[in-house]
Structure formats: C-alpha cells, structure tokens
Amino acid sequence: MFEQMKEIIRNYVQVADEDIHEDSRFVEDLGFNSYEFMCLVGEVEDVFDIEVDEREAAKIKTVQEALHYIATLTEE
C-alpha cells in the first residue's frame, strides 16, 4: 500500500520516490496544498475503492496517517 501511495503522491507533487517516507508530512515535507491534497483524496478513493470523509481527511497530516486511515476503511 505504501508503494501505491507513493505513486499517487507523485501524480500531484514533484518529489523523488526516495524522498517520500511514511513519516513525511503532506504539507511541510511534500509540498501539498489543499487542492492537490483533495485530488489525492479523490484518487485514493478510486484506487482503494473507499469513500473518504473530508472531516477525517483534514486530520491526516502524514503519509502514515493516510495509510492507517485507508487500512481502517478497507478492513471493514
């Protein structure tokens, strides 16, 4: 899932694959703005076949938190 997430991230920001870590923060480290993050949310929903609650998405600050959130939805 982490590799899939890295691929999705690189669709929206210019960052090298090796510079994306599980503890990378979307805004401060990867340079996401709100629009790009929402685009990422949309792609994550399609790729993992989940529906993301925006209020929960707004709490996600790191790649690890995103992966954890996806895992909770896909395990249901």
Partner 1 sequence: MIYACSIPHGMGEHSAAYTLLSWVLYEKYRLTGNLLLARTPQGKPFLRNYPGILFNISHCAGLVACAVSHTEVGVDVEKIRLYPPRMPRRILAPSEQEQLLKSENREDLFFRFWTLKESYGKALGVGIGYPFREIHFQLGPVPTCNVAGFSFAQTVLRSGFILSACQRGTEQAQTMVFLRHLPEQTGGISYEYEPTAKPERLN
Q: Which residues bind partner 1 (CB under 8 A)?
A: 27-28, 33-35, 37-39, 41-43, 45-46, 54-55, 57-59
Closer residue to partner 1 (CB): 3 or 35: 35
Nearest approach, Cβ of residue 11 and partner 1 (Å): 9
Residue among 10, 13, 17, 6 nearest 66 (CA) = 6
* 51 C-beta neighbours (distance < 10 Å), count: 7
Closer residue to partner 1 in complex, CB, 6/52: 52
Q: CA Rg, the chain, in Å?
A: 11
User: CB of residue 5 vs partner 1: minimum separation in angstroms?
Assistant: 17
